[in-house]
Structure 1
Amino acid sequence: MNMEYMSGIDTTAVERFDPTRLKTRQLNLLVRLDEHRSVLHAADAAHMTQPAATKLLRELEETMGVPLFERHPRGVEPNWYGEVLIRHARSVLQELRHAYDEVSALKAGLTGEALIGTEVTAATNLIPQAVALLKRRFPQIRVKIEMEFSEALVQRLQEGRLDMIVARIRSPDDLAELHYEPLALAQHALFVRAGHPLTKTRKLSWNQLASQSWILPPQGNVMRNRFTRLFLERQLALPTDVVETSSLPVITSLLQISDMVAPLAREPVQPYCATGALEPLRFDFDLKLGPAGIVTRRGEKLSPGARAMLRALRETAGFAISEPGSDRE
C-alpha cells in the first residue's frame, strides 16, 4: 500500500462516518473504476471528465478515511478497502435500480405472469407467503404454481416451462446452468395417526419398522432413494407392503384412517399434528436430503412479472433483497 499517499488521508474519518455524505456518482465511479482500472476510461464510462472523477474519488477516500485504490503507471487497482466498498456500491446501485423499477411498475400497473414450481415443504409456507406479498404489491400479476418432486421441477425449469422453482439440486452438472440459493434444511420424521400402536412402543427398532405398511414416494424420487438406502445399510429387507403416492392430501388421509407409516418433512404435517390427527414416532429417522433452494436458470432474463415474483420469494426467504447476479439487470 502506498504509505505516502495514505498519510495524506484523515484515517480517523471513518469513526465519524456519515453515509449521507456519499454520492451516487461516487458509487457509480467506484464500479466503473473496478471495471476499467483506469481513471480516464472510468470517467468516460461515468459520463464525466477525468478531473471531476479524480476529485470525486479523492473526496470519497477522505470520507472513508482510507485509500481505496493503488495507483500504478498503467492505471489503478482496488485494494482490500476498495474491494469491500465496490461490492457494497454495486449492491446500493442495484437496489436503486430495483426501486425505480418497482415505482415505474406501480405507476404503470405491472401485469404479466410468473410460473413457479415447488416441492411440498415450501408449498406449505414459503410459497403462499411470497405470493401473498407479490399480490399486495402487484395485484394484476398472474401466478401459476406447480407442485412436484425436485427431479421433475428441475427438468421443467431447464426446459423453460417454469420461471423459478424451490427444489433440491442433485446433479453437479445442473449447477453449471442453474442459479441455486439454499434454504434452511428441512427436518423429517416418521408420521402415523394419533393412537397408532407404534406410538406406545418405548424403543422402536428398524426390524419393527420394516414389517409396517408404508406410504412412500414413487421409485426414482430422492426421498425414496434415501429411504431405501437406510434399510440396505442395515442389511434389512425392504418393506413390501407399500403404497406409492406423491400427494400430501392422499398421504395424510391414508395415515388418519389406517395404521400406515409415512416419512414426511415436519413442516407440511405440523397443522395435522396441532389438531391431534397425526403424530411423529419417537424414532431417530436420520433422513438427510440436503436443503432445497430457490433455483433459476443462469443467464436468463426474467419477465417483469417473474422478476417481481422472484424478489418477493427471496424477501420472504430472508435473503438479501438484491437479486443474485447481474444477468437479470
Structure 2
Amino acid sequence: MDDEILRNIPAFMAVAEQKGVSRASEFLFKAPSALTRSIALLEETLGFTLFDRLPHGMLMNHFGEAVQERSRRILMELKIACEELGPICRPAKEEKHLSAFLLAGRKLQVFASIAEHQSLSEAGKQLALSRSGVSMSLSRMEEYLGIHLFERMAHGLIPNTAGEKLLIRAKRISAEIRHLKTELSALAGALKGTVIIGALPLCRTRILPKAISQLLITHPDIQVKTLESPYDELAKGLKSGDIDFIIGAVRGKAEQSEFQIEHLFMDQVSIFCRANHPLTQKNQIDLATLSNQQWILPRQDSPARQVLTKAFLQKGLTPPQPAIESGDLAILRYLLASTDLITAISPFQLFYEIKDQLVEALPIDLDNTQRSIGITSRKQSLPSPAVLEMMNEVKRVIRDEVHRSI
C-alpha cells in the first residue's frame, strides 16, 4: 500500500470536484500551497500528470479520471472502516477524525503487514522498518483508537474481531491501489500490473497454465500469481481483495450475496484407474463392484468427493472410504498411475495421463455428477485491465479446447 497515494487522495478529490486549487482550499480549509504540493506529490508518485492546468482552473485528464474512480472506491472502504470502528473506539471517534488519522503515515500498511505475518519483526522486514518502529506505530494506533486490534498469542499476533474488520478494508484499499497503477499503465499504452488468481484443482493441469502462457506472449509485463488452497481459504482472499478471481468448480449459494459467478462449462466426474488395471478386464462394472476397491480421494468438502458420495447414496450403497485422502494432484497422479488405487476426478485434471495412456476411465456413468466450472469474483470489485485480460484468456482457452472436446 503506497502511503503517499493515500495521504494525498483527499486533496486530489477536492481539486477534482472543485476544478481548481483555490476553490478546493476554501472547501478543505487548507492553504492553496499545501494542496498544490499534495497534487504534485501524487502525480510524482504515480508517474502521470492528472490535470490539465488552465487559466480558469484545473480539469482532470483521462489519467485523473481513472484516479478519481479508484479514489472514490478507496474512500468508500475507508468510510465503512470508520463506521465499523468509530462507535467501538474509546472514546468513540467521529468519521472525519478517524479517517484523517488512518490516512496519515503508514498506519494501514503497517497494520496489514503485522496481520499478514503475525509478527512485528517480519512486518518490519517487509516494510524496511525496525521492530521497535513497527511496535511503536501499532501502539500509537491502538492508543488513539482506545481498543486492541490483535490478540497477543504464543504463536504471534492474531487480529481480533475489530482487527479483522479493519483488515478487510485495509486489504481492499491496497487492492484498489494495485489496480489503479495497472489502469494508468494501460491508459499509457502498456498493460502492466499483477493478477492474483485463486486456482482450484480442475484448472491447474492445462486450462490455467495455457491461459497464462498465452497472456504473457501478448503482455509480457503482466505478473501472474496463483494461490492453491482449499476453496474456503481462497474465498476469504477474494472477499478481502487479496485475490482477483477464483477459477474452478463453483460452490453453492452460500456466498451469492457477495460473489458473482460466470459459468463457463459443465464438467463430468469420472472414475479412473491405471492402464491395464484388473478392473479394465471386466466386461461389466457397476458401483457395487467398486465398493471394496482402494480409493484415493480428495477432502470430503471437495465437489468431486461430494458427487461421488451422492452417486453411491442414490444407488443405496455406502460411499467409499478412501485409503488415501489427499488434495495434492501430484500425489494422486503418481499413485493412480503406479498402483491399483482408483479415484473419482475430472478428466481435465488428468489431461496428460490420459493423453499418454497411463490411466483410463472405467465405463461407469455417474448419474447427476455434473458440476459447473466457472469464474468467481466479488460483486463490488472493479477488475483492472490486466485482470480482465487474464479472464478473457481463460475463456479463450476454454472455447478453443474444452468446448471442442465436449
Does the residue aligned with 1:114 lie in a helix, a strand or coil? Answer: strand
2:213 matches 1:136: no
Checking the alignment, whether the CA contact within 8 Å between 1:214 and 1:262 is kept in structure 2 is: yes
2:330 matches 1:239: no
Checking the alignment, whether the CA contact within 8 Å between 2:202 and 2:248 is kept in structure 1 is: no
1:270 offset after TM fit, Å?
2.9
- In structure 2, give the amino acid aligned to 1:226: V
Q: Alignment RMSD, CA only? A: 2.6
2:282 matches 1:201: yes
Does the residue aligned with 1:156 lie in a helix, a strand or coil? Answer: helix
Cα 1:135–1:249 shift into 2, 3 Å = same
2-side partners of 1:255 and 1:220: how far apart?
21
Checking the alignment, whether the CA contact within 8 Å between 1:165 and 1:294 is kept in structure 2 is: yes
Gaps of 5+ in 1: 1-100, 320-329
2-side partners of 1:282 and 1:269: how far apart?
16
* Residue correspondence of structure 1 range 39-58 to structure 2 within 5 A: none
Partner residue, 2:345: 264
Partner residue, 1:228: 309
Checking the alignment, whether the CA contact within 8 Å between 1:106 and 1:138 is kept in structure 2 is: no
Checking the alignment, whether the CA contact within 8 Å between 1:156 and 1:162 is kept in structure 2 is: yes
1:227 offset after TM fit, Å?
1.7
1-side partners of 2:249 and 2:183: how far apart?
30
Q: Which residue, out of 253, 272, 286, partners 1:191?
A: 272
Query: Greater RCO between the two (CA within 8 Å, min separation 6)?
Result: 1
1:304 offset after TM fit, Å?
4.0
2:249 matches 1:168: yes
Does the residue aligned with 1:174 lie in a helix, a strand or coil? Answer: coil
2-side partners of 1:316 and 1:144: how far apart?
18
Checking the alignment, whether the CA contact within 8 Å between 1:223 and 1:289 is kept in structure 2 is: no
* Residue correspondence of structure 1 range 246-325 to structure 2 within 5 A: 246-286=327-367, 288-318=369-399
User: After superposition, what is the alpha-carbon deviation per residue over 1:223-259, rounded to whole angstroms, capped at 9, x for unaligned?
Assistant: 2222222222323233345210111111110012211
- In structure 2, give the amino acid aligned to 1:263: A
User: After superposition, what is the alpha-carbon deviation per residue over 1:262-309, rounded to whole angstroms, capped at 9, x for unaligned?
Assistant: 011112213212222111112222352421111211121223432332
1:148 offset after TM fit, Å?
4.0
Does the residue aligned with 1:292 lie in a helix, a strand or coil? Answer: strand
Checking the alignment, whether the CA contact within 8 Å between 1:116 and 1:162 is kept in structure 2 is: yes
Checking the alignment, whether the CA contact within 8 Å between 1:119 and 1:149 is kept in structure 2 is: yes
2-side partners of 1:310 and 1:205: how far apart?
39
Q: State TM-score, norm by structure 1.
A: 0.60
User: After superposition, what is the alpha-carbon deviation per residue over 1:197-248, rounded to whole angstroms, capped at 9, x for unaligned?
Assistant: 0001111122220000001111222222222222223232333452101111
Does the residue aligned with 1:117 lie in a helix, a strand or coil? Answer: strand
* Residue correspondence of structure 1 range 57-96 to structure 2 within 5 A: none
Cα 1:185–1:148 shift into 2, 3 Å = farther
Checking the alignment, whether the CA contact within 8 Å between 2:201 and 2:248 is kept in structure 1 is: no
Q: State TM-score, norm by structure 2.
A: 0.49
Checking the alignment, whether the CA contact within 8 Å between 1:212 and 1:241 is kept in structure 2 is: no
Checking the alignment, whether the CA contact within 8 Å between 1:227 and 1:287 is kept in structure 2 is: no
1:103 offset after TM fit, Å?
11
Cα 1:186–1:238 shift into 2, 3 Å = closer
2:214 matches 1:214: no
User: After superposition, what is the alpha-carbon deviation per residue over 1:67-113, rounded to whole angstroms, capped at 9, x for unaligned?
Assistant: xxxxxxxxxxxxxxxxxxxxxxxxxxxxxxxxxx9997385533211
Cα 1:250–1:302 shift into 2, 3 Å = same
Q: Which residue, out of 167, 178, 198, partners 1:117?
A: 198
2-side partners of 1:203 and 1:172: how far apart?
38
User: After superposition, what is the alpha-carbon deviation per residue over 1:183-205, rounded to whole angstroms, capped at 9, x for unaligned?
Assistant: 11112211111111000111112
2-side partners of 1:171 and 1:273: how far apart?
30
1-side partners of 2:399 and 2:377: how far apart?
17
User: After superposition, what is the alpha-carbon deviation per residue over 1:1-40, rounded to whole angstroms, capped at 9, x for unaligned?
Assistant: xxxxxxxxxxxxxxxxxxxxxxxxxxxxxxxxxxxxxxxx
2-side partners of 1:308 and 1:207: how far apart?
47
1-side partners of 2:260 and 2:250: how far apart?
10
1-side partners of 2:239 and 2:308: how far apart?
27
2:235 matches 1:154: yes
1:160 offset after TM fit, Å?
2.3
Checking the alignment, whether the CA contact within 8 Å between 2:308 and 2:319 is kept in structure 1 is: no
Checking the alignment, whether the CA contact within 8 Å between 1:124 and 1:268 is kept in structure 2 is: yes
Does the residue aligned with 2:220 lie in a helix, a strand or coil? Answer: coil
Gaps of 5+ in 2: 1-181, 401-406
Checking the alignment, whether the CA contact within 8 Å between 1:218 and 1:245 is kept in structure 2 is: yes
The number of residues matched between the two structures is 219
1-side partners of 2:318 and 2:210: how far apart?
42
1-side partners of 2:263 and 2:375: how far apart?
7
